[in-house]
């Protein structure tokens, strides 16, 4: 069983004594929930870990194989994501946790989140998530991005159910 299997919505617990040095709090563009921030605080305090906050500004694709400005995130979307990341970073810092963050634009959120975790030296990922849908139908849904991250990650992934709020 890989490190990321078996970690479920809300009730996931790292193995006893497992410590993290750096945690990635990631969002595929959804608002980062209070429950998700609280889980990151709990994990970071347990290990005295620092946190990198990442949010994705969704790029909708290309037109005829060429980048198209109409498919890129709008200034408002960039600003909303940046404001959310800044707010979460400030919340973590108020709790005494070293944190930084940024927003990136991509069509492939899973790939970008996993790349960011590796580049930032993170040894755990925390994300808010919807209920897991069937793999066939879920693979076509942007809301199932956290489940794709969990399936492909080589490090523990904690998915926090939005229904838990």
Dist. CA 22–CA 97, nearest whole Å: 11
Q: Which pLDDT value is given to residue 69?
A: 62
Q: Which pLDDT value is given to residue 73?
A: 78
**Residue 29 phi, psi dihedral angles, 5° rounding:** 125, -15
Domain 22-164, classified CATH 1.10.3470.10, yes or no: no
List % helix, strand, coil for the chain (3-state, nearest 5). 40, 20, 40
All structural domains of the chain with their residue ranges: 22-164
Q: Which residues contact 38 (CB under 8 A, 6 or more apart)?
A: none
Query: What letter would DSSP give residue 158?
Result: E
Dist. CA 128–CA 65, nearest whole Å: 32
**Residue 24 phi, psi dihedral angles, 5° rounding:** -100, 120
Q: Which pLDDT value is given to residue 2?
A: 38
Q: Which pLDDT value is given to residue 158?
A: 95
User: Strand, coil or helix: what is 56?
Assistant: strand
- Going residue by residue through the chain, which has 165 residues, state the pLDDT in tens, using 9 for 90 and above: 334 333 444 445 565 568 899 999 999 999 999 999 999 999 999 999 999 999 999 887 666 666 666 677 788 999 999 999 999 999 999 999 999 999 999 888 999 999 999 999 999 999 999 876 655 554 555 568 898 999 999 999 999 986 544
Would you say 3 and 154 are in contact if contact means Cβ atoms under 8 Å apart? yes
């Amino acid at each position: 069983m890989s490190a990321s299997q078996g970690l479920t919505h809300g009730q996931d617990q790292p193995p006893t004594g497992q410590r993290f040095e750096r945690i990635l709090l990631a969002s595929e563009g959804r608002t980062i929930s209070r429950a998700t921030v609280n889980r990151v605080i709990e994990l970071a305090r347990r290990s005295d870990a620092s946190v990198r906050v990442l949010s994705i500004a969704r790029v909708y694709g290309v037109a005829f194989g060429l980048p198209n400005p109409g498919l890129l995130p709008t200034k408002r979307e960039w600003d909303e994501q940046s404001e959310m990341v800044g707010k979460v970073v400030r919340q973590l810092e108020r709790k005494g946790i070293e944190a930084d963050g940024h927003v990136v634009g991509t069509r492939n959120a899973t790939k970008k989140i996993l790349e960011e975790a590796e580049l930032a030296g993170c040894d755990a990922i925390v994300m808010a998530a919807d209920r897991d849908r069937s793999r066939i139908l879920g693979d076509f849904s942007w809301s199932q991005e956290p489940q794709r991250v969990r399936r492909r990650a080589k490090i523990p992934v904690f998915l926090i159910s939005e229904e838990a709020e």
